[in-house]
Amino acid sequence: MSRYILALLLALPAICEAQGDLRADLERTYGVWRAALVNKDAATWQRVTAEHRRTEVRNRIVSEKRAFPATIFELPAPPPALGGLKFLEARQNGATAKSAYFGKVDFGIGGVPTENLLVLSFVRGAGGWLYDKADFVNLTALPDVRIELAAGDLSYLRGVPEAQPSGVVPPTPIAANPATTIAKVYVFCPGREVEVQVNKISRHRFANAKEAEIVIGGARGGLNEVQYSIRKLEGGTGEEALTVRVYLMSEVAGVKPIKAFEYLVPEKGAFDPFGTGTFVLDAAVAAKLTGK
């Protein structure tokens, strides 16, 4: 027996023990985080949630002019429990970690849950592991993967980016001021990736999408800046139509959203890969939208 194989065999118990310790730590953190949501315990939620995630959640809530932290607990159902799920693995890379589970993930929204993949993400803080987010991978179209995972074959996980800890802790965004006027970015970009930045705070990425996202910090009174970049995706022709818009949202019944900014590219039309535009929000328009 080679020295390498002997050393590996001797190390296996320690590796298994470390894996078990990591699993226990991550599941403990998730359990506390989940209980905080169920019990509407804002202090505990903030203590066990990763800093960048706390700030992102707060920014989104105040940008929609909703109450923080009370809005955190306005959930249709609690996050899924881990009981009844098959533990697959726990992996650490520096200050990041992931734990993966397989089974009938129940989000409490009705229907009969099917067997799918749930991956929980964590980052290490000064006092231990902090919860970041959960990724749900629907395996409906992958029946063979379901069979593999049920049998303990983890080959599929190696090709799932969401299941691999990156080792990089996401940066904490700037804390946004509560919005005075709610705004949304809308992008239609088949075959393309579009990145949009509003007022150098609200950053958005759309890929082959038709979606709208809330503008962090809302629209400012006065001059607002919109920056965008466009690139073709693999499989795209580079000739698809494209739309980038910013809407100012109404809080008054009967008053429609206002299109404040628009960049249009017709089908087969020329486009700028990078661009900057502006729009102005004056007091009269703000009052019309907010009723104040």
| Domain-located, residue 176 | no
Query: For residues 198 and 3, what is the distance between their CA atoms, to the nearest angstrom?
Result: 59
Claim to verify: residue 147 and residue 193 sit in the same structural domain: no
Render pLDDT for 90-110 as a digit per residue (tens, 0 to 9).
999 999 999 999 999 998 777
The C-alpha angle 246, 195, 233, rounded to 5 degrees, equals 125
Quick one: 159 and 209 in the same domain? no
Range of the domain at 283: 183-290
Convert the pLDDT of each residue in 216-264 to its tens digit. Answer: 999 999 999 999 999 999 999 989 999 999 999 999 999 999 999 999 9
Q: Is the dihedral of CA 110, 29, 66, 183 positive or negative?
A: negative
Give buried/exposed letters for 116-151 (b at 16+ CB in 10 A, else e): bbbbbbbbbbeeebbbbeeeebebeeeeebbebbee
The predicted structure's pLDDT at residue 77: 86
Question: What pLDDT is stored for residue 109 in this prediction?
Answer: 76
| Mean pLDDT, the chain, whole residue set | 92
My answer on whether 152 and 74 are in the same domain is: yes
**Same domain? 26 vs 154:** yes
Counted domains in the chain: 2
DSSP conformational letter for 285? H
* DSSP conformational letter for 36: H
**Full strand arrangement of the beta sheet holding 274-281:** 202-207, 192-198, 222-232, 274-281
Whether residue 41 sits in one domain with residue 128: yes
Average pLDDT for 130-146: 96
Nearest Cα neighbor of 103 from 74, 81, 125 is 81
Sign, Cα dihedral of 129, 135, 140, 142 = negative
